[in-house]
Amino acid sequence: MNRENFRTIIHDNCYYFYPYLILWVMGLVWTFIIGKPSVHLYLNQFHHPLADDFFRWATKLGEAYVFVGVIVITLFIKFRHTLFFLASFLSSFILVQFLKKVVFSSIERPTKYFEHDTTLLYLVDGVTFHHFQSFPSGHTAAGFSICTALALWLPKKMKSYSTFILILAFLIGYSRVYLSQHFMIDVLTGSVIAVTFSLIWYPNFYGEPLRNHSWMDHSIPLRK
């Protein structure tokens, strides 16, 4: 992808990528200034029973069955959408799993990091807590893969609605922090991996060299 194509994609989807970049930089700077433990403890102060229920639900949007659902739906819309989503999702999935299970497998999750004083954390009931392989967040990467694809697929007249899709993506990512499954830096890294691979693959499937592959614009026909 050349620089001009990259700028065009960002500009055409500015309602998604501009707010994302601003919030991502703010989160990164905040984390580096006060440290990931302090960021987590600060955010962990804010909780409510309704939020507990909401984020238990929101975090499930980053699980595998949602990915499968998107794949199935796109097969009935356009194969090009299916292939693009597969390429971007699987690329980010493979990298995230390699990083968290091979390179950074010993990185502790919040419940393990603060196990010396469990009273420091508010923990949501009914959640199974993991202890290692914290960096980066797989659920966040999956959520941002799905949401970034949806934002890119929106027709030009509807691009302004992509901000609402970004809010959904951030809620999926924040759910991992709210539930003390990940630190903020894990979520930020998972999101940027997903967004990067989406930007890499998008011009390949919707521009040269695959634009003229007309079979990609077919779909599984629905019976009348």
List pLDDT tens digits, range 35-63.
999 999 999 999 999 999 999 999 999 99
pLDDT for position 117: 81
- Which tokens is 47 given? 């909780």
- Do the Cβ atoms of 113 and 133 come closer than 8 Å? no
Q: Nearest-CA neighbor of 123 among 37, 51, 57, 44?
A: 44
Q: Is the pLDDT of residue 224 over 60?
A: no
What is the mean predicted confidence (pLDDT) over 120-135? Answer: 92
Q: Which of 97-101, 147-151, 217-221 has the lowest mean pLDDT?
A: 217-221
- Do the Cβ atoms of 188 and 169 come closer than 8 Å? no
pLDDT band at 4 (very low <50, low <70, confident <90, very high): low
pLDDT band at 91 (very low <50, low <70, confident <90, very high): very high
Contacts of 41 (CB under 8 A, 6+ apart): 120, 121
Output phi, psi for 212, to 5 deg.
Answer: -85, 5
pLDDT digits (tens, 9 = 90+) for 155-192: 889 999 999 999 999 999 999 999 999 999 999 999 99
- Which tokens is 118 given? 């469990």
What is the mean predicted confidence (pLDDT) over 56-79? Answer: 92
Spell out the domain ranges in the chain: 3-217
pTM of the model: 0.93
